[in-house]
Amino acid sequence: MAPKPAAKKVKTAPKSPSTIPPIDPTSSFTPESFEAELKALAAKAQTETWSNWALAQARVYLKSAALLALAALASTVSQLALSPVYGSIPSATWHARLLMAACFAGWSSNLFLGRALPFRVEHLLPVIALWIPVVQFLLGKVSGTLTAGWGPLVTEAVTLFPLVGLSAACVATLLDGADLSALPGWLADAAPGLGAYGFFKAAETVLGGTAEGLVGRSVLNTRLGMELVLGAAYALVAPSKLLLWAVPAVLHTAVLNTHVPTPMALARLNSGLAEVGYVVLDRAESVTGYVSVVDSPKEGYRVMRCDHSLLGGEWVKFLGQGALKGNQVAEPIYGVFAMLEAVRLVKTPEPIVDSEAQALVIGLGIGTTPAALVAHGIDTTVVELDPVVHKFAAKYFQLPSNHTAVIEDAVTYTARLAADETASRFDYIIHDVFTGGAEPIALFTLEFLQNLHALLKPNGVVAINYAGDFALPPPRIVVNTINAVFPACRIFREHPREEEDFAKTGRDFTNMVIFCTKQGSGGGDISFRAPSERDLLNSPSRRAFLLPQHEVRDADFLVGGEEAEGILRRNETERLVKWHEMSAAGHWTVMRTVLPEAVWEAW
């Protein structure tokens, strides 16, 4: 029997995977299941409407904006909280670079953090924010060890860095859900990072400036108040059970933190300061910094502090005592304040009669110079930016009430007055501004000094106080600028250089006073008359320091070359910023020798 031929195989074209419907092996196709699938697809299509898409996108962007705005505000508040301990300039030295590093680290590690943590990253933010005041308080107590160079960096590395870094990580995760399909591929990849950083910097400028302008308006506008508000805002944005870990921090702030602006906290602060012989009479936070009045009952003097510098001081133990009883003025603890009053001793072509004279004082301090001018019968106008400084000078120091107070920025005030030909012109102008460890640069520009020149009468005299390090270029540049405006000037130091200290530290930080007139052609045209008993106001301090003694010669400026050449113009102020960082660090060290570290740390 012949074998049957093999069955012939029929070749068929393979099906495309896209044409093969998915098969559920656990179920069989029925009309009921087909109908249910159609209903599910219809329901899904109804939910994917434009309004729901827009709402989902709005949530992404609004929450991202909220986190970025809070981080931006935290940046400014962190700097405000560091300035009483380190001064505003040392506090800012590493700040911008640390912020950039935090943003980069957080943005690039968002996926890792999301997988590594057993909870959502954003739930950590309010816990960190509420612990920041505690960490700042504890690290402030070792600021002498950390120094002004490392203290701000270390403090922000363990407080601001994690807060901003984790905020950036949360924003990166949120923006992964942003629909950027309308953008080209390369732009869609870059837009979230660039947009987030741009928004952060804009918020830092706007919110930071607003926060600084509102400092001191209420308890919530104090440094600690703003930190607690930030913690509460983070808790509203990212509530979770992890907030229980912040309870000890809140209790520490409420009970133990002496920075809280309450009478109880002030009493606790003074209890600790009693060990080193000091007491804080009053304190407030204002537009130029943390301002306080500090007494030394043992030594018998009183000072006004602004952040990490002193605005002035006087001997209270001499008030109404012995031969000084009935004096019109107090005894200053620093000779430079008495030396400024020598503006009246400069010989002028026509003698200036006190009772007919007008004086403009830029920068009040505790009011030593204005009080002396008023005592001599001179009509005195004081321009002071900070209302708290004026309030404390009148309340706790010997500032007389019969003066004209202008609470305004000196740049704006002098520009307006100089442009008004009918406004007052002055026989004497005293320029005495200092805060934060360095001079406000805007008040030493060519344009500002030109306004002072316009406000000075032809027969008048100006005295300009500048505190700086003669081993750095700024004093030379400032003097160059002053000489470009006033034709005749002489310069005097508060005290001669201490050669031994200079050899050890390389610093020569001191106050100098530059006396100038609108007439003459050089320092040789300026001379001083001998002070009379009336000039001295029955004051031992003025007897010792009123007549300038330590004249500054070119050799006293220890730097030369291109860095110390030229003048300072309004649009070139960055030229002095890097040098002011070094000068402020030196000033910080000096201040730690003037008052005990406990006074600076326990603000």
d(CA 126, CA 170): 13
Q: Is residue 557 part of a domain?
A: yes
Beta-carbon contacts of residue 233 (< 8 Å; ≥ 6 apart): 70
Tell me the sheet residues that pair with 303.
294, 313
- Looking at the fold, whether 228 and 362 belong to one and the same domain comes out as no
What total number of domains does the chain contain?
A: 2
Which of 255, 281, 311 represents a domain boundary (last residue)? 255
Tens-digit pLDDT profile for residues 268-315: 999 999 999 999 999 999 999 999 999 999 999 999 999 999 999 999
- Looking at the fold, whether 225 and 354 belong to one and the same domain comes out as no
d(CA 231, CA 415): 42
State the number of CA atoms in the 13 A half-sphere of 190 facing the CB: 5
Place of tokens 């052609």: 521
- Looking at the fold, whether 251 and 388 belong to one and the same domain comes out as no
Please answer whether residues 99 and 203 qualify as being in contact, where contact means their C-beta atoms are separated by less than 8 angstroms.
no
Q: Is residue 42 part of a domain?
A: no
Supply the range of the domain harboring residue 518: 334-571
Q: Is residue 373 part of a domain?
A: yes
- Looking at the fold, whether 195 and 57 belong to one and the same domain comes out as yes
Please answer whether residues 342 and 528 qualify as being in contact, where contact means their C-beta atoms are separated by less than 8 angstroms.
yes
Structure tokens at 412: 């704006």
CA distances from 181 to 64, 186, 191, 525 (A): 19, 11, 12, 76
Q: Quickly list H helices, 23-142.
A: 31-47, 50-86, 88-92, 95-108, 110-116, 125-140
Please answer whether residues 456 and 425 qualify as being in contact, where contact means their C-beta atoms are separated by less than 8 angstroms.
yes
- Looking at the fold, whether 498 and 394 belong to one and the same domain comes out as yes
Nearest residue to 280 (alpha-carbon basis) of 306, 312, 302 = 302
CA distances from 151 to 127, 136, 316, 441, 522 (A): 23, 10, 34, 25, 45
Q: What is the DSSP string of 255-269?
A: HT-TTSSSHHHHHHH
Q: Quickly list H helices, 439-573.
A: 446-455, 474-485, 499-505, 533-536, 540-545
Place of tokens 């400028």: 205
Q: Is residue 211 part of a domain?
A: yes
What's the CATH code of the domain at 370?
A: 3.40.50.150
d(CA 174, CA 192): 10
Q: How many CB atoms lie within 10 A of CB 452?
A: 24
d(CA 450, CA 444): 10
d(CA 299, CA 18): 92
The residues of the chain scoring below 50 in pLDDT are 1-20
Give the model's pLDDT for residue 48: 62
Rounded (10°) angle between helices 143-157 and 95-108: 40
User: Terminal CA-to-CA distance of the chain, rounded, Å?
Assistant: 116
- Looking at the fold, whether 380 and 516 belong to one and the same domain comes out as yes
Give the model's pLDDT for residue 52: 82
Q: Is residue 123 part of a domain?
A: yes
Beta-carbon contacts of residue 520 (< 8 Å; ≥ 6 apart): 487, 488, 526
Tens-digit pLDDT profile for residues 534-552: 999 999 999 999 999 999 9
d(CA 371, CA 378): 10
Give the model's pLDDT for residue 41: 65
- Looking at the fold, whether 360 and 458 belong to one and the same domain comes out as yes
Which of 255, 281, 298 represents a domain boundary (last residue)? 255
Q: Is residue 311 part of a domain?
A: no
Long-range Cβ pairs for the range 174-183 (8 Å, 24+): 174/60, 174/63, 174/64, 174/67, 175/60, 175/64, 177/56, 177/60, 178/57, 178/60, 178/61, 179/53, 179/57
- Looking at the fold, whether 232 and 361 belong to one and the same domain comes out as no
What does pTM read for this prediction?
A: 0.87
The H or E element that residue 14 is part of is none
Give the model's pLDDT for residue 46: 58
CA distances from 123 to 73, 115, 117, 166, 438 (A): 19, 14, 11, 10, 41
Give the model's pLDDT for residue 353: 97
Q: Is residue 447 part of a domain?
A: yes
d(CA 148, CA 502): 20
Structure tokens at 83: 């300035």
- Looking at the fold, whether 243 and 347 belong to one and the same domain comes out as no
Tell me the sheet residues that pair with 289.
286
Which of 218, 235, 255 represents a domain boundary (last residue)? 255
The H or E element that residue 573 is part of is none
Nearest residue to 132 (alpha-carbon basis) of 12, 228, 209 = 228
Q: Is residue 34 part of a domain?
A: no
Give the model's pLDDT for residue 578: 77
